[in-house]
Amino acid sequence: MISFLTAFPLISSAANVTGKSRTYVQSRETAGGSNLLPLYEYLNFSVQNLGSETISLHFGGWGRYDLMDKSFGDDNYRSEVQYLYLSFRGETGNTIVNLGRIMVFEGVAAERADGIYARTDLPGNFGVSAYYGAPVETGIGRLGSNSVYGGRLSHQSADIYQIGVSYLKEERDNSELREEEGIDLWLHPINKVDIVGKSVYNSDTSGWREHTYNLILSPIEKLRLTTEASWINYEDYFTGATLSAFSFQPSALNRRERVFILGEDAALSLSDTVKVSVDYKEYNYVIASGARYYGGALKYAVAEAGEAGLTIHRMDGDTDRHKYMEYRIYGLKKINKMDIALDLMAVSYDSPISGEDNAYSASMIAGYNLTEKLRMGADIMYGKNPDFDEDVRVFFKAIYSFDFGSGEGV
């Protein structure tokens, strides 16, 4: 990795390159008996002042090589460019134009596409954004000439509200593949009260995909109350998936399913170092069995020194697998250039699952800053649960941050 950075040519004497290399090696055994030892490399960097103070280049990608058994099918190597684009920044109006493999997060859009994205502020506290390109869809297997486009129009009043309406459409060979509209908002009607949420409509299925809203209250300085309300329709939600991980799987999901989630979280700072919280979340399904998850936590933290915590939760569902007590205790200690963490978790089932009454996991994490730019670390995890008699994983990591320019080396 370092040799690559040394060889990276400076595009101009004024250019500045900043980024990070994350190298991971994980050792684990699958349920089928395969011994996996994948090597991952995640690289991202930005080049600022690319011939002009308003032009920059941004890259992010990853590669994986299997040192032992193959992780995915017949391939022992995979790589992907997550994003690679030129960015042109205007001197006024928060104007930005990105060109290349872009990432778009605007209202209903959470997309990767090979194309163009632009946004700017308009008079009257309005803002507008738009994008167009060929979608980058992982594992979907859609053939043909695809295009995705859309935009968002917003209006805001400083410190009071921001509301946006957005639109997305994806086509394949000039036929409609996906069409969505949405509303997103942030409201601050009075001091210490915030409302954040969004609603998304799926035009293909003529139904609302989801409504997700949070009410955040701070009645006193050290108390924070967060109320969550979400409603999701599976058929409308999963129809437009662009990643295989989120595609509709008939064997796993019932397309007629709907879920309403209602939750509350209360966090109180007893002092600068001690914080307590309680939380409750209820899952109400139309078809599947419902469940309630609730409990509390105690956290002790000292800046630049470390932290420790204890959590106890109850899962009270309608099936045996969703009836259990969950306990977790963890601690992190920083010692000069080193930090060490220990995380212990135990689950006690009301009734045995596959003959097991309990599940356990223990993780030890250590990291050391060799230099200001290079950090090495290792994680060791042991687990035992109804699905694995014994699950041991070892994880090594090297994180290298770089920053050079104006003729400087690494």
| pTM for the structure as a whole | 0.82
CA distance 258 to 254: 9
pLDDT confidence band for 8 (50 / 70 / 90): very low
Question: Residue 297: CB partners within 8 Å, gap ≥ 6?
Answer: 276, 277, 278, 279, 309, 310, 311, 312
Q: Are 163 and 196 in contact, with CB atoms under 8 Å apart?
A: no
Higher-pLDDT residue of 339, 387: 339
Q: Is residue 240 over pLDDT 70?
A: no
Is the predicted pLDDT of residue 143 greater than 70, yes or no?
A: no
Could you tell me if 226 and 264 are in contact, meaning their C-beta atoms sit under 8 angstroms apart?
yes
Which tokens go with 298? 């105690």
28 in Cβ contact with 36 (< 8 Å): yes
What is the reported pLDDT for 5?
Answer: 39
User: In the prediction, which pLDDT does 241 show?
Assistant: 53
CA distance 347 to 383: 11
State the distance between the two ends of the chain, measured CA to CA, in whole angstroms.
11
Q: Per the structure block, which two tokens stand in for 139?
A: 């594992």
